[in-house]
Amino acid sequence: MKKVAILLIVIVLFPIISYSQNIEDLEFISPFHDGVSAIKKGSQWAFINAEGAIVVNFRDDLVETKSVDGSYPVFNNDRCLIKQKIEGIPYYGYIDKSGTTNVTPQFLNATNFNNNSAIALKLIKVDLGENGLVGKQVYIYKYFETIIDLSGNIKTVLTEEETIGLIPKNFKTPLAITSKFISEILIATKSKDNNLWSLKKID
């Protein structure tokens, strides 16, 4: 009878023992945002759910957001900013809570989502034709601020195109975003010419 009781205890407790998880030596634990908390170990961040289980494993491409509690990655609308360097230039995109990349890094800068929308600097490459002296295609780059949806599609264009020219490989500092959410449906954009603001209503 004792053997049966011990066997039953083992069977009942084994799943609990198997699935319990202790995470140690963390350098930072953030408050919960959008149902998850960011945790830091070394130079990498991960996300845990309310049960303490890791839902996004430790990685080094998550973008930190400054807040009164510190600087750490956050999820909003089931999206978190990521950054990837391509030929030395940082590009921004988004992952979901499974760690899957939903929006491939392609923007020169981007904000966290707010009410299923985010502000992002869209980069476009303009072909100027072939340079006869060197026999190569010549390109210049332009960008403009946009409102994007959860899939990275452009919903609204906020600013006119601005020319960057030839982007050098050491273009490391993200361009500033001049627009900001002031409510769930209102965007304020600051003019670079006269520092005056304009308002746009989004759907």
- Say whether pLDDT at 152 is over 90: yes
Q: Residue 15: its pLDDT value, please?
A: 46
- Give the rounded percent of residues in the chain with a pLDDT score beyond 70: 86
Q: Residue 171: its pLDDT value, please?
A: 67
168: confidence class by pLDDT, cuts 50, 70, 90 = low
To the nearest 10°, report the CA torsion of 169, 171, 172, 177: -150
Q: Residue 202: its pLDDT value, please?
A: 81
- Say whether pLDDT at 59 is over 70: yes
- Say whether pLDDT at 130 is over 80: no
Please report, for the chain, the start and end positions of each structural domain, with discontinuous segments joined by +: 25-64, 76-203
Mean predicted confidence (pLDDT) in 79-87: 93
- Say whether pLDDT at 128 is over 60: yes
Q: Which of the residue ranges 18-27, 31-40, 185-194 has the most confident prediction, judged by mean pLDDT?
A: 31-40
7: confidence class by pLDDT, cuts 50, 70, 90 = very low
Mean predicted confidence (pLDDT) in 117-139: 83
Output the CA–CA distances (angstroms, integers) from residue 24 to 27, 28, 98, 167, in the order listed: 9, 11, 22, 42
Distance CA 203, CA 184 (A): 9
122: confidence class by pLDDT, cuts 50, 70, 90 = very high
- pTM value is 0.83
Mean pLDDT for the chain overall? 86
Give how far the C-alpha of residue 161 lies from the chain's centroid of Cα atoms, to the nearest Å.
23
Mean predicted confidence (pLDDT) in 167-189: 84
3-state secondary structure of 10: helix
Strand (E) positions, the chain?
28-33, 36-41, 44-48, 54-59, 65-67, 70-72, 80-86, 89-95, 101-110, 118-131, 136-148, 154-157, 162-165, 179-181, 186-190, 197-201
Q: Residue 87: its pLDDT value, please?
A: 80
Distance CA 118, CA 148 (A): 5
Q: Which residue, among 108, 184, 185, 122, has the nearest Cα to 159 in the 3D structure?
A: 122
Q: What's the pLDDT tens digit per position in 20-32? A: 468 888 999 999 9
